[in-house]
Chains A and B, each alone.
Chain A
Amino acid sequence: MTNAPPSRKPKTAAKKTPAKSVKKHKPATVLIVGAGFAGLGTAIRLQQAGIKDMVILERAGEVGGTWRDNNYPGAACDIPSNLYSYSFDQNPDWSRSFSGSGEILGYIKAMVKRFGLEKYIRFNQNVSDLAFDEEPGLWHATTDSGEIFSGRAAVMAQGPLSNASFPDISGIEKYQGHKVHSAAWDHDYDFRGKKVGVIGTGASAIQIIPELVKDASKLTVFQRTPAWVVPRPDFDTPDWQKTLFRKVPASQSALRKGLYLAHESMALAVIWNSPMTRLAERLGRWHLKRQVKDRWLRRQLTPDYRIGCKRILVSNDYYPALQQSNCKLITWPISRMSENGILTAEGIEHQFDCIVFATGFDVGHSGTPFPVRGTGGRKLDEDWKRGAQAYKSINVAGYPNLFLTFGPNSGPGHNSALVYMESQIDYIVKGVKTILDKNLKALSVRGGAQDEYNSRIQKRLAKTNWNSGCKSWYLTEDGVNATMYPGFATQYARQMASLELKDYELIPA
């Protein structure tokens, strides 16, 4: 059970403006790429640590990352809001136990105001290149507008995935009807009375489908692999709770702690194969049986892989939506797309006014969203060709003073992404303070430490449910898991709690 899909713009939205002249800005202490949860959280903690000389580069015209881009109908978080928020900025006023994307975006915007982050953010600055200049020990970020921003340290907080992904279906370019991607919702399109197809039955799709079925005259859902779906304990927050949280903030912290521990216990079901895994599967099957009476439909919706191997979905209204009279689930393989719709292997052409692609994102297992160049001209996408690797998910050998958020093997399968993010942010603050306090030109993780860390991680990953045989976006084509962290959030927090200088090479300025 993770959180929101990461923030990305679809390929079509990425327009490059040719640079006319280069405008170099005065180097800052810290350069942050991305003004989503990770970038803004880093800025807050740096500011609280007294480091206020920073620049945040944001490619869009507003903050919010994931929650700005993923605003399709029904978009919501599948982690309770009291846990999917920062511990250092808790919100007593969440309207629901699982908030929608609009409310989460509101929380992010309010955070920017509360901590006065506006002054750091440079909007509409899409980074096209990030390079380390060894001599002065500076990272230079070149943006599409032709400006160069520099910093002694750089934080990549652009989200772990790079682009909205369209499926590899033959003839996709032939389709003449309207196309919408879940990560770039077309709010101007009127779905009322339309014949709509949805490709995908993942985390976004199961939120979109119950909304679309209300408007579309006919909704056809194309499923390749059924997911495990468990009930969502969603409810409106009672007023007394909001009052209590406002008057006694410790009560909210206590709830947060309780939620955290409850999610931690789910690691036993999700990450490793244990009796808890069987229990979780039983819960999923019970949920399906309770909501779907038809035996064949239930069979079509029953996953054939171990729970936890792919992302677990939470929904109370997905199965009922599929059984509406205007909705149909198609599990036949898709053969190709035509001018009018989708042809499936049972020989039928399903014709649509609009097709919604709820097909997720291009996962950057090995690539980077823009070229990142380290010492000696090395390139991160080349170094990661055989699967991304980092030391403690945050630093990469050969890329001094560069910190990753949601780097390789930092993904949570069972707990809030923001819990992991807080650990990363605090580590970044430690790293930046080390650079400043020791006046370093470069704080560079040693290759040996990185290799040793990764061999440990991969050994542990081999025993997890993610590596138990199903195909998922957690794995590269070669089956390498460069995405998930094989352990409890508490373990992750413990490994991030200290910055071991022995694992780094320190080059004085």
Chain B
Amino acid sequence: MAMIDLDKMLVKVKSTQWALSDIDWDAPGADLITEEQWPKLKEFMTDLMWIEHVGARAFAAMAKKAPTDTLREIYTYFHAEEQRHANVEMALMKRWGMLDGDELPEPNINLRLIIEWLDRHSDEVPVYVLGTVVPMLEIALDGALCKFLLDTVDDPVCHQAFEKINDDESRHLGVGFSVMEMQGHGATYIKTVEMAAQIANPRVILGIASYFPLLNKMRDNVVAMGLSEEKLYACMEKFEKIGGRTKEGRSNPWFQIIKFHSRWMVDRSNKFYHVPVDALVKATSYIPRKLLPAVPSWVRELTYEPTA
């Protein structure tokens, strides 16, 4: 992916803002959700909504540390846009009768751990670490899940909403890969040493310990819902393909690390990776929620109401 002009991108982002009120939430089509689909879709939408929301929080952390004013502003918008996506997904859930009153659906435990990590540590993690992980999450989870949703659900309002979401996401990915390439400029040796130092950073270790099981958990979830595992892996491979297209992209040591991780991830026969990580997924499922601290207040910012 060629480097993009971030100033032009900021103008584009500003001029393409949309709102929940641009969508007619009462338009016909809600009944196209079948009874069989309904319970699985509810779980699916909950995961999707939370992934958008944690993505939002990651962008907030990146905005704090962005190296330029333009990038800071772009990330500030992306933070809001991910929140908008989560709001839209919540509004779809409301439309499909999946919300219990005004109650926020519970995130799964792995997402809950990621929320906890993001809240406590993400602001302290260097921007280039998140700047590589976030495109991976967006392309793999967001991309795969959205595609699966559109293949499965016939409600036209859902399609209308995701058309807008996907436009936003393509800009997020464009910027994401461009920033990864920006970080690949310069002496690779120094970058590798810097990366090695970060891997020893307890914050990053904790993040990895939350990120690995999250991916495996999401794989299990989407497979349980009927998405073929291969489709998820195909999306993850896109990360390697796009991110590694240029010399700069390949010189970014964080890209290399995430790439190798995604290779392990898609290789089911890699027992060295999957046995311990699946065990972690299982272990985390036993964590009593009561032991976790109260959810941070940014979590409660979600709403399905187009107006306030």
Instruction: List the interface of chain A (C-beta within 8 A of B).
Output: 220, 294-297, 299, 304, 332-333, 335-336, 340-341, 343-351, 471
Q: Which B residues lie within 8 Å of A297 (CB)?
A: 297
Whether the pair A347, B123 counts as a contact (CB closer than 8 A) is no
Q: Which B residues lie within 8 Å of A299 (CB)?
A: 123
Q: Which B residues lie within 8 Å of A220 (CB)?
A: 308
Identify which of residues 14-51 in chain B touch chain A, using a CB-to-CB cut-off of 8 Å: 14, 17-21
Q: Pick from A346, A351, A471: contact of B84, CB below 8 A.
A: A346
Q: How far is the CA of A332 from the CA of B21 in the complex (A)?
A: 17
Q: Which A residues lie within 8 Å of B308 (CB)?
A: 220, 348-351
Q: Pick from A294, A332, A346, A350: contact of B297, CB below 8 A.
A: A294
Instruction: List the interface of chain B (C-beta within 8 A of A).
Output: 14, 17-21, 64, 69, 73, 76-77, 80-81, 83-84, 87-88, 119, 123, 296-298, 301, 303, 305-308
Residue of B nearest to A332 (CB): B80
Whether the pair B64, A349 counts as a contact (CB closer than 8 A) is no
Q: How far is the CA of A345 from the CA of B14 in the complex (A)?
A: 9
Q: How far is the CA of A343 from the CA of B17 in the complex (A)?
A: 9
Most B CB atoms within 10 A — which of A297, A336, A349? Answer: A349
Whether the pair A335, B17 counts as a contact (CB closer than 8 A) is yes
Whether the pair B81, A345 counts as a contact (CB closer than 8 A) is yes
Q: Pick from B17, B64, B301: contact of A336, CB below 8 A.
A: B17
Q: Which A residues lie within 8 Å of B84 (CB)?
A: 345-347
Q: Pick from B77, B296, B306: contact of A295, CB below 8 A.
A: B296
From DSSP, what is the main secondary structure of chain B's interface residues?
helix
Q: Pick from A335, A341, A346: contact of B87, CB below 8 A.
A: A346
Q: How far is the CA of A347 from the CA of B73 in the complex (A)?
A: 17
* A/B pair count, beta carbons within 8 Å: 67
Closest 8 CB pairs of A and B: A345-B80, A347-B84, A335-B17, A346-B83, A347-B20, A296-B298, A332-B80, A296-B297
Q: How far is the CA of A345 from the CA of B75 in the complex (A)?
A: 12
Q: Which B residues lie within 8 Å of A343 (CB)?
A: 17, 19, 21
Q: Pick from A294, A333, A349, A351: contact of B19, CB below 8 A.
A: A349
Whether the pair A348, B20 counts as a contact (CB closer than 8 A) is yes
Whether the pair B298, A348 counts as a contact (CB closer than 8 A) is no
Q: Which A residues lie within 8 Å of B64 (CB)?
A: 304
Q: Are A335 and B297 CB-contacts (below 8 A) given A349-B306, A349-B308? A: no
Whether the pair B76, A347 counts as a contact (CB closer than 8 A) is no
Q: Are A347 and B307 CB-contacts (below 8 A) given A304-B64, A335-B17? A: no
A14 CB to nearest B CB, Å: 31
Whether the pair A345, B123 counts as a contact (CB closer than 8 A) is no
Q: Pick from B14, B87, B296: contact of A347, CB below 8 A.
A: B87
Whether the pair B80, A333 counts as a contact (CB closer than 8 A) is yes
Q: Are A348 and B119 CB-contacts (below 8 A) given A333-B76, A343-B19? A: no
Whether the pair B305, A348 counts as a contact (CB closer than 8 A) is yes
Q: Which A residues lie within 8 Å of B119 (CB)?
A: 295-296
Residue of B nearest to A218 (CB): B308
Residue of B nearest to A328 (CB): B308
Q: Which B residues lie within 8 Å of A347 (CB)?
A: 18-20, 83-84, 87-88, 306
A301 CB to nearest B CB, Å: 13
Q: Which B residues lie within 8 Å of A344 (CB)?
A: 80
Q: Are A345 and B87 CB-contacts (below 8 A) given A296-B297, A296-B298, A333-B76? A: no
